[in-house]
Structure 1
Amino acid sequence: MIATNCDKDGNNMLHLVGEFSQLNIVLGAALHMQLELLWFEEIKKIVPLAYLKAENSKGKTPKDVFTETHQGLHKDGEKWMRDTANHCMVVATLIATVVFATAFTIPGGNNQGNGTPIFLDHTWFMVFFLSDSIAMLSASTSILIFLSILTSRYTEKDFLDSLPTRLLFGLLALFISIVGMVVAFGATCFLLDILA
């Protein structure tokens, strides 16, 4: 075992980083876990290579110490990520249902003779149609992304890149679907104003 730069228990700097959880600057256990992993990975880059596999007096490597110390945070992160993905998926499903139904109940109705929408030549109808389509696509995308979060393995490595990235893209798609739904609603209001 390496004796230089170690404390009385044989812990080197990386063991100590793995043991302490002090980075409480983000909300959400999953993002806290990501920050702890990033900090551990950055310290790994600056310590000598021999320290990566060095064992302390209890026979544990720095990675073992990190995993053991952050076990509770790992479970909390998994629960937080599942809850967040679940709630967001419910919202995305509601939006997808509403914009799907709206696409078939076109504002103003259809012409009796040929079945084309009455407002087909109006600019606001195109705004309605495009924003409703964008809302449907992005809501469906966010549902799939949140579903992939729910079916993840939730390993430590997943918390580093995979899960936070999926969460970010899922929330972005959900936000786009909300904006699309609001724009479609506004366009419908303008079309009904023309009808009145």
Structure 2
Amino acid sequence: MAGGLVRYRHLSRKSSHRQALLRNLVTALVQHESVRTTWPKAKETQRLAEKLITLAKRNNETSRRKATGILYTPHNLLPKLFGELRNRYAERPGGYTRVLRTEPKSRYDQGDSAILELVDGPRDMRFAMTAAAVARDQRLGRPSNDLTLLNRNKVTRFRPDGKEAFDAMVKRVGEMRLGGKGTADAPMDTYVRRNG
């Protein structure tokens, strides 16, 4: 059949293999909160992960049974899913995951690569990158641009201690960059001392 609407990506696998792949990626996502894979796999896994977190927010016996059927190690991950993650996303209406495109994994395999991560977590990459941009702007003594301010609003909106955590991250990144000395040449001084 030529043309037509494709409801999901088949990922060049038969149904059972595709479901096993997606279950494995979702299990790794819940366990590690960040997974690196190809972009099409990340987009399909994102759909399943969003449904899984919605099940956790319902927090009834039916949703626990469905989540048990999705995860490969439910006895290890159900407490985290129905505890920490449910509380983290209690006020968020949706958008629990983020897919970030990255460079290909190797120069020989040029497939689209991506990172699938849970938002508002300890490994939130946009949170860290926005904090680094604000720290750079503060170090250079210039105001942040509109995109940085928009990202700052996005990463702090649904966190319970968003502004305080963001300010602490900006301070930590600024100290790392300055090496604790207060000068812009501190990383070069450290490099010269180590390498003679």
Whichever structure has more helix as a proportion of its residues is: 1
Same fold (TM over 0.5): no
Q: Which has the larger share of strand?
A: 2
Structure with bigger RCO (C-alpha 8 Å, 6+ apart): 1
Q: TM-score range by the shorter chain?
A: under 0.3
TM-score normalised to structure 1 length: 0.27
Instruction: State the TM-score, normalizing by the size of structure 2.
Output: 0.27
Greater Cα radius of gyration, structure 1 or 2:
1
